Structure 1
């Protein structure tokens, strides 16, 4: 009788009890009988009958043992399921998330918010946070700031759930409205949604709006905008700026306004500001005369983007007494002659748009501004056409500029290549250039409109030519791509990037929204 297994209790019949030891002749004879229908002789029967008897007993034993083991297996599986559920429950109880204070959990929630185009979606924050657990829901609903941003874009989505928007309005305290109208979309749905939001205009803290011809009359109504601090206005296309648009005058009640941007683009529309305002930042497309009037009335302005449009055919007036801007720290100009009319004693960052048709570079106007203002700005940005010789002269003459960046915003690929080539020539140190070329530059940045992965080795060649860990003052470099996703560097470039980072140089690779945010900072844009 076989004995039970000490581990599982199963009975096992030894193999030798079934397959008895036989001589090669006997084994060969059994194999021959198995391969034919020849009847066995008395000698073979004496061998086979004990084997069949033993295997029969073994099969009977197995037939009895298998159901018992199946029952045991089911018992183990049931036990494991219950134990696993209990274990998971205890793990959840021990989770560090349970011990995070509500205020810290709320801070984490605020960082989880998506880009504003995706807010009205139950799969995204803050909506999804309310379906995780009771505590998360309570924290999310207590944070009015999580629900402030309401963003609609009729160009990408023609309909929006009004019930969801109403719920979000109820959960928010102040509102940040991003309303992107679309000329070819159903006008009634856009008007109805804007009117729903406008009921709560007294809670608007931020308004970014793209107007259409049918939205204009709704937007231009007198509303309570006393809480509005930041606004951006633009039009979808030329047809959107109908003759009824004579000016942007719905902001007269926005007495708390500190930032404003108006992109007229197609034709100039004067903007009527409240009698009393606190503007510290503005971005306008306007004739130079309008900019002059605005700047003289904005003693507290800290950042300005001066886009001179609609009078480019006119000559510049003779500079008189400069316009004093005692608090201005960041300035962007589309035409460098603007600098001839300003005094900016606290200027820190300057961005200048250049094009190949400029009769002369910005160096003379810039020198006059710096001398007139007695300022020592640290950051210079160039947008568009770049001249290596004049730029090098500016940087060498003004060592206070320790940060320099270029963006090649130009649809022409040849122009982009020329800008990139000039940028690399300006900063690459070779045997033919002095070893101390622009030694005071601590940060170098390049933003590309449509560049690809071929930029990496060129940019790295430039960095490696300047980088000496023991001597170089260079600390930071940025390479940015306007594309939504970052072009993948080749393995060799990746290795070079890591080597530079390990040696102490901070290298940032940005794309899409990250790049847009950075460039907006460069160019002082209010923007979206």
Structure 2
């Protein structure tokens, strides 16, 4: 074999034999067991042995250095090959061949903060779409092809979230609006103060100059609500031809914050407006807010959900705006009911879905008056959340009036209610085919599983949703589902939360038996308020 030297590692390619360990010496072993001074002969022997050992160590150090250098060269070659491989993989990567329409679909999925911006039910809302770290800005920074795709799709630029504190981003706002082309816009506008600087007014001018493209609008003015709307109203009134969804956070700190003659008329002329969400407005809603009420088909009203504020919210609204919506199909009301005066008659024949959360700040007299004067002759979907200590009798009477057409019932009672009161209320809805329960008890699950015809709850039940369940209720729920599958109206569909206690094998057993099992609902609150 040739002894030529390797160019890379400077070696010959021939591995030299490694030195062996010296044989054990009995004299050394004996001395290691004592503290005796070695003899002159023994000392010479030991020193000769040390010299030999140190020589062997030097040989091994040289070999280690040689191998380390060899490893360095090999690692360097590997790194070069990995880099070369990455380049080749990038060339043949399937992403290069993805059609533009598929790429666009992926890009739209990156825009998660823009979805369901109107719902005010925990869905995130972005008030700054001008950040370059967000899509679609960051998507256009990956490569030339992606940039061309992003710039070619106006819908990717159609979500515009603006905080009035972002006035330094005027040019970027103008650029985004230009890139959105003529596509309808979803706009989220926020202002935390009631005095606009010249730069902030310029930002507002730019945004409002495109109001003819606003399709979905959410406005949250934290302070100076009436003043801010007086500023914006002349810019957009009569210039909202495609506005369909409107969400307003009217955060009046007290009833006195809104003067008696206060009027918000910016949205009075909006020929396509049909979906309205109002948050925190507690008084005289119909008189303060001028809307084309006759067009509205969906209304939702909220207070400050989850607020830890000690202030008791007083809602002195007579709810007459409800009867001003002859076309309304779905209503969800979550404001406390504590009006001092009696409610007027509220006859709403067009409503098919009605949801209400009776808050703890509500007055029992107001609740009774509200339900006693409420008439929903065509309601088929009722969503009830109750935080009172006892079951209001007015709700039982209301259910008795509405039971014949009721098909869907969502029920979230307070934990203080005894099971017999819950069962008593549920017995008033025998025509229900789809039942949704939040935080059911073990006793209630047992009652629902009792299929004796003499005590059977919901004889027409075909669908059931169970949420906020205990981890050890697997047997109870299985028993309920199995027994309900054996009734004349067999159970066809079950909704369970994402954290349900079942493994996939049990779900597959039900599915193979013809039961649809849906575990896609992330939040009860989002589901129940999406009327």
TM-score if structure 1 supplies the norm length? Answer: 0.69
CA 459–219 in structure 1, closer or farther in 2 if over 3 Å, else same: farther
**Match runs of 1:405-416 below 5 Å:** 405-406=436-437
Aligned 8 A contact 1:361 1:390 in 2 = no
Residue 362 (structure 2) aligns with: none
TM-aligned CA distance change 1:68 to 1:236, over 3 Å: same
| 1:170 alignment counterpart | 178
Aligned to 1:330: 353
1:426 is aligned to: 444
Partner of 1:416: none
User: Is the 8 Å Cα contact of residues 262 and 283 (structure 1) preserved in structure 2?
Assistant: yes
- After superposition, residues 109-120 of structure 1 pair within 5 angstroms as 109-115=107-113, 116-118=124-126, 120=129
Per the TM alignment, residue 163 of structure 1 is displaced from its structure 2 partner at its CA by 3.8
Q: What is the deviation of 1:442? A: 2.4
- Tell me the equivalent position of 2:480: 466
- Displacement of 1:105 in angstroms is 1.8
Rounded to whole Å, the distance in 2 between the matches of 1:55 and 1:382 is 83
Match of 2:434 in 1: 403
In angstroms, what is the RMSD of aligned CA positions? 4.8
Q: CA deviation at 1:87?
A: 0.7
Gaps of 5+ in 2: 6-10, 114-123, 302-314, 359-366
Kept in 2: contact 1:340–1:369 (CA 8 A): no
Q: Is the 8 A contact 1:150 1:176 kept in 2?
A: yes
> Does the 8 Å contact 1:467/1:474 carry over to 2?
no
- Counterpart CA distance in 2 for 1:149 and 1:323 is 35
Give yes or no for the alignment of 1:126 onto 2:120.
no
1:227-306 equivalent positions in 2, closer than 5 A = 227-238=242-253, 241-243=257-259, 246-263=262-279, 265-269=281-285, 270=287, 271-274=289-292, 278-283=295-300, 286-292=317-323, 294-295=324-325, 298-299=326-327, 301-305=328-332
| 1:186-265 matched pairs, under 5 angstroms | 187-188=196-197, 193-211=203-221, 212-213=223-224, 214-223=227-236, 224-238=239-253, 241-243=257-259, 246-263=262-279, 265=281
Secondary structure, in 3 states, of the residue corresponding to 1:87?
A: helix
Cα distance, 1:226 vs. partner? Answer: 1.1
Q: Does 1:443 align with 2:457?
A: no
**Contact 1:230/1:258 (<8 A) preserved:** yes
> Deviation of residue 88 (structure 1)?
0.9
Q: Distance in 1 between matches of 2:377 and 2:99?
A: 50
Deviation at 1:3, TM superposition (A): 9.3
Distance 1:54 1:317 in 2: 106
Asked if structure 2 preserves the Cα contact closer than 8 Å seen for 1:4 and 1:11, the reply is no
Q: Cα distance, 1:464 vs. partner?
A: 4.4
Counterpart secondary structure, 1:256: coil
8 A contact 1:260–1:282 mirrored in 2: yes
Q: Distance in 2 between matches of 1:424 and 1:361?
A: 27
Of the structure 1 ranges 134-143 and 201-210, higher mean CA displacement relative to structure 2 is found in 134-143
**Residue 411 (structure 1) aligns with:** none
- Do the aligned residues in 2 keep the contact of 1:403 with 1:441 (CA within 8 Å)? yes
Deviations 1:42-77 (A, max 9, x none): x969x969x9799979968986x7887676555434
Q: Distance in 2 between matches of 1:431 and 1:73?
A: 70
Question: Is residue 17 of structure 2 the alignment partner of residue 13 of structure 1?
Answer: yes
Report the alpha carbon displacement of residue 86 of structure 1 after superposing the two structures with TM: 1.2
1:256 Cα shift? 1.5
Alignment CA distance shift 1:430-1:263 (3 Å): closer
| Equivalence for 1:451 | none
Is contact 1:150-1:175 (8 Å) kept? yes
Higher mean alpha-carbon deviation, 171-180 vs 377-386, is at: 377-386
Task: Show structure 1 runs of 5+ residues with no match.
Answer: 408-419, 448-454, 481-488
Residue 377 of structure 2 corresponds to residue 343 of structure 1: yes
CA contact (8 A) 2:318 2:343 kept: no
CA distance in 2, matches of 1:88, 1:501: 42
Tell me, in whole angstroms, the C-alpha distance in 2 between the residues paired with 1:467 and 1:54.
80
Number of residue pairs the alignment of both structures matches: 461
How far is 1:313 from its partner?
Answer: 2.9
- Alpha carbons of 1:508 and 1:68: their partners in 2 closer, same or farther (altered >3 Å)? closer
* Structure 1 residues 62 and 288: alpha-carbon distance in aligned structure 2, compared to 1, 3 A threshold: closer
Determine which of 492, 511, 519 is the counterpart of 2:528: 519
| Alignment-derived partner of residue 408 in structure 2 | 378
Q: Deviation per CA, 1:70-119: give whole Å up to 9, x if none.
A: 76555434432221111111222232222222112211222222435445
Distance 1:349 1:72, change over 3 A: same
Aligned-pair distance for 1:250?
Answer: 0.9
Distance 1:318 1:273, change over 3 A: closer
Kept after mapping to 2: 8 A contact 1:259/1:282: yes
Task: Report matched runs for 1:145-164 at 5 Å.
Answer: 145-152=155-162, 161-164=169-172
Residue 207 of structure 1 and its aligned partner are, at CA, apart by: 1.0
**Is the CA contact 2:449–2:479 (under 8 Å) kept in the aligned structure 1?**
no
- In the superposition, relative to structure 1, how do residues 406 and 44 fare at CA in structure 2: closer, same or farther (>3 Å)? closer
Q: Is the 8 A contact 2:229 2:266 kept in 1?
A: no
Is the 1:176–1:206 contact (alpha carbons within 8 Å) kept by the matching residues of 2?
Answer: yes
Pairing 1:367–2:400 present:
yes
